Amino acid sequence: MARRPRNLTALIAILRDPCRSFAAHDEAVRLLGRMGGQAVEPLIALLDDPDSAVRGRAAAALGRIGQAAIKGLRRALADSDPVVRGGVVLALGLTRHARAVRPLIGALDDPVAEVRRRAAVALGWLGSSYAVEALTAALQDESEAVREAAREALAKIAAGE
């Protein structure tokens, strides 16, 4: 039987601590994701943290929670840091929920190619036919990486993966 994390406050503190190792941050993200709904509000609050690394880790944890976190992740798509936005689009894809499709389609218009590429990848994970038109348009993107991710996502959708 899996142990349930008990100390939400301690895990949030780990996410905020820049002196912690990557492994500690990663473990905190994993455990917060397992906590589910009770971790959503504190993690959404971290999306306003002045440190972009903290915002990115909070988005990753929200992605592990799933549907309950989509509203907060949608808001984080407006973050000024493209690294955070890129993390948010992957987190939305990790939710594996249909409500993530529309914001991911919007992210295909991000000014940063890496965010657009990640949005295409995440849409491929979701496998929604609603994304086909937007992904087809992304085949004309100026970035080869975005075009390749769009091709792969369309192939996954066509294969029903």
1-80 and 96-161 share one CATH topology? yes
Q: How far apart, in whole angstroms, are the C-alpha atoms of residue 142 and residue 110?
A: 12
10 Cβ contact partners less than 8 Å away, ≥ 6 residues apart = none
Q: Which fold has domain 1-80?
A: Leucine-rich Repeat Variant (1.25.10)
Per-residue pLDDT of the chain (161 residues; tens, 9 = 90+): 344 446 888 888 888 888 888 888 888 888 888 888 888 888 888 888 888 888 888 888 888 888 888 988 998 899 999 999 999 999 999 999 999 999 999 999 999 999 999 999 999 999 999 999 999 999 999 999 999 999 999 999 999 87
Whole-number pLDDT of residue 3: 44
Residue 98 DSSP one-character state: G
pTM, 2 dp: 0.83
Answer yes or no: are the C-beta atoms of 156 and 127 closer than 8 Å.
yes
Contact 5, 36 (CB under 8 A): no
Rounded to whole angstroms, the maximal C-alpha distance in the chain is 49
Domain ranges of the chain: 1-80, 96-161
- Classify domain 96-161 at the CATH superfamily level: Leucine-rich Repeat Variant (1.25.10.10)
